[in-house]
Amino acid sequence: MLPIITEEMATEVYTEAFQDVQSWRKNMVQYIKEENPEVNTAILEVAKHDESIDLKAVALGAYLSYRLLELANENDGLIVEG
């Protein structure tokens, strides 16, 4: 089961990413290459299948999703339902 992404987590990641989208995306490229190269490879494979796809847009969406899931996973044990 995937961890729950809260609205607060989403706002945090969006704020971080959209301050400077180009720099954030470039930093995530390096981060993903080191942390999970298989994910980076999967993102790049998209470009090989359809040249009309905007790879930077696909990568941005993938990196946002990765970061959201990563943050949710880090906080998964911290959420107390009640």
pLDDT given for residue 82 in this prediction: 39
Delimit the domains of the chain by residue range: 7-75
pLDDT given for residue 78 in this prediction: 61
**DSSP 8-class letter at 51:** T
* CA 15/CA 63 separation, integer angstroms: 14
Which percentage of the chain shows pLDDT scores above 90?
Answer: 63
pLDDT given for residue 77 in this prediction: 61
Burial of 67 per CB tally in 10 Å (0-12, 13-18, 19+): buried
* 21 to 28, 43, 55, 56, 65: CA distances (angstroms): 10, 17, 14, 10, 14
Extended beta strands in the chain, E state: none
Average pLDDT over every residue of 28-55: 88
Query: Does the pTM of the predicted model rise above 0.85?
Result: no
Confidence band (pLDDT; 50, 70, 90) for 54? confident
pLDDT given for residue 53 in this prediction: 83
